[in-house]
């Protein structure tokens, strides 16, 4: 029986000029184009973004760029997984039409001296623990949106603060693009999919779903009218008891501007970041309407 091989026929664009020309041509034919920005090491969570993008647009391009400006000096930029061939196969299988994979020099040529700084939703939460991170994200995402000129761009709710920062920058800078958030894709035990889950040992992996379980339990109780402060104390104790070594934050916020809440009276989100072994896990859940 002949073996079947899956061909990787996905075009890869390395330069801004080719990306722009390709997208302009499509848009000139009346086609709607969507971008799925990523840092690669793609998994089912990214594929959910591509699948949603295919519903919103006629052509979908994913970008893979491990963006140096959003990593702190002690963070994992050098060791961040890079596997372009695997990524492009997965994208081709899911139905994406192209992959934009620029070099660092293409994105940040010699003399590059500009940064996009978003206030508001960048402040607090991860903004307190990863100085410069959201400016790095905002700068590269602004560049990707302006380089591509796409009609829509999709981001996962897993990085909820990032999503709100990107919505704000697109609005504040009048970038004509629809920013679409897509629900977090979870493993069967509730752990949010993330390229960094690979850093967990088997024992840590068994503990990791406690994060989502705790946030989900808190959301249910807050929706039932429980007060925020005791729930936050309970949640922190749950995480530490389970084996998380430190909690950067566990906080209940306004779902749009991410300001801290004292009571839940409208759309709210519980966000957390906690350390487990070498991994720093983040997750968030919506508080169902009260």
Among 10, 22, 33, 37, the residue binding ligand PAF under the rule CB under 6 A is: 37
Q: How far is the CB of 141 from ligand PAF (least distance, A)?
A: 6
Interacting residues of 75 by C-beta distance below 8 A, sequence separation 6+: 130
Using the rule CB under 6 A, give the single segment among 27-35, 137-145, 242-250, 267-275 that binds ligand PAF: 137-145
Distance CA 278, CA 220 (A): 30
Span near ligand PAF by CB under 6 A; candidates 12-20, 35-43, 103-111, 118-126: 35-43
Smallest distance from the beta carbon of 277 to ligand PAF, in angstroms?
Answer: 22
| Residue 164: C-alpha distances to residues 52, 84, 137 (Å) | 19, 28, 12
The answer to whether 46 is a known catalytic residue is: yes
Q: Which of 87, 159, 180, 283 binds ligand PAF (CB under 6 A)?
A: 159
**Of 10, 26, 34, 38, which lies in the binding site for ligand PAF, with binding defined by CB under 6 A?**
38
Q: Give 44-48 contacts, CB < 8 A, sequence gap 24+.
A: 44/185, 44/193, 45/156, 45/158, 45/184, 45/185, 45/192, 45/193, 45/194, 46/90, 46/156, 47/90, 47/94, 48/156, 48/182, 48/183, 48/185
> Quick one: which segment of 19-27, 37-45, 92-100, 281-289 binds ligand PAF (CB under 6 A)?
37-45
Which residue in 43, 46, 212, 275 is the catalytic one?
46
Q: Does 272 bind ligand PAF (CB under 6 A)?
A: no
Residues 6+ apart with CB under 8 A from 16: 102, 106, 147
Q: H-helix or E-strand containing 246?
A: strand 246-254
Q: Under rule CB under 6 A, how many of the chain's residues touch ligand PAF?
A: 10
Q: Where are the beta strands (DSSP E) in 44-86?
A: 59-64
Instruction: Considering only the stretches 13-21, 48-56, 136-144, 277-285, report the one whose residues sit in contact with ligand PAF under the rule CB under 6 A.
Output: 136-144
Per CB under 6 A, the segment of 104-112, 135-143, 240-248, 261-269 that binds ligand PAF is 135-143
Cβ 191 vs Cβ 211: under 8 Å = yes
179 binds ligand PAF (CB under 6 A): no
CB of 163 vs ligand PAF, minimal distance in Å: 9
Of the candidate residues 23, 33, 39, 279, the single one contacting ligand PAF (CB under 6 A): 39
* Assigned token pair, 56: 């919103």
**Residue located via tokens 């000096």:** 73
Q: Which residue's CB is nearer to ligand PAF, number 105 or number 241?
A: 105
Strand (E) or helix (H) holding 178: strand 178-182
Contact with ligand PAF (CB under 6 A) among 23, 48, 101, 137 = 137
Neighbouring-strand partners of residue 271: 251, 284
- Asked if 285 is part of the footprint of ligand PAF (rule: CB under 6 A), the reply reads no
User: Please, which residue, 32 or 43, has the CB nearer to ligand PAF?
Assistant: 43
* Sheet order of strands, 246-254 included: 246-254, 268-276, 279-287
Point out which residues pair with 181 in neighbouring strands.
155
> Applying CB under 6 A, which residues contact ligand PAF?
37-39, 67, 70, 137, 140-141, 159, 162
Catalytic residues: 46
């Amino acid at each position: 029986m002949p073996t079947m091989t899956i061909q990787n026929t996905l075009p890869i664009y390395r330069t801004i000029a080719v990306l722009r020309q390709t997208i302009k041509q499509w848009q000139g034919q009346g086609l709607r184009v969507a971008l799925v920005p990523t840092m690669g090491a793609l998994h089912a969570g990214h594929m959910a973004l591509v699948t949603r993008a295919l519903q919103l647009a006629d052509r979908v391009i994913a970008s893979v760029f491990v963006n140096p400006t959003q990593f702190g000096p002690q963070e994992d930029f050098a060791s961040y997984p890079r596997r372009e061939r695997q990524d492009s196969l997965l994208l081709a299988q899911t139905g994406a039409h192209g992959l934009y994979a620029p070099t660092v020099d293409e994105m940040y040529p010699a003399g590059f001296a500009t940064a996009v700084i978003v206030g508001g939703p960048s402040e607090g939460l991860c903004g307190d623990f990863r100085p410069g991170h959201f400016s790095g994200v905002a700068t590269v995402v602004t560049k990707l949106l302006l380089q591509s000129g796409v009609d829509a761009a999709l981001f996962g709710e897993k990085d909820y603060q990032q999503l709100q920062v990107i919505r704000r920058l697109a609005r504040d800078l009048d970038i004509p693009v629809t920013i679409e958030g897509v629900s977090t894709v979870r493993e069967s035990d509730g752990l949010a999919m993330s390229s960094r889950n690979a850093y967990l040992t088997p024992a840590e992996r068994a503990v990791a779903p406690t994060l989502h379980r705790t946030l989900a339990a808190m959301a249910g109780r807050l929706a039932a009218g429980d007060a925020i402060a005791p729930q936050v104390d309970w949640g922190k104790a749950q995480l530490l008891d389970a084996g998380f070594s430190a909690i950067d934050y566990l906080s209940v916020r306004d779902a749009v501007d991410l300001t801290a809440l004292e009571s839940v009276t409208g759309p709210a989100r519980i966000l957390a970041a906690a350390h487990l072994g070498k991994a720093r896990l983040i997750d968030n859940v919506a508080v169902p309407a009260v």
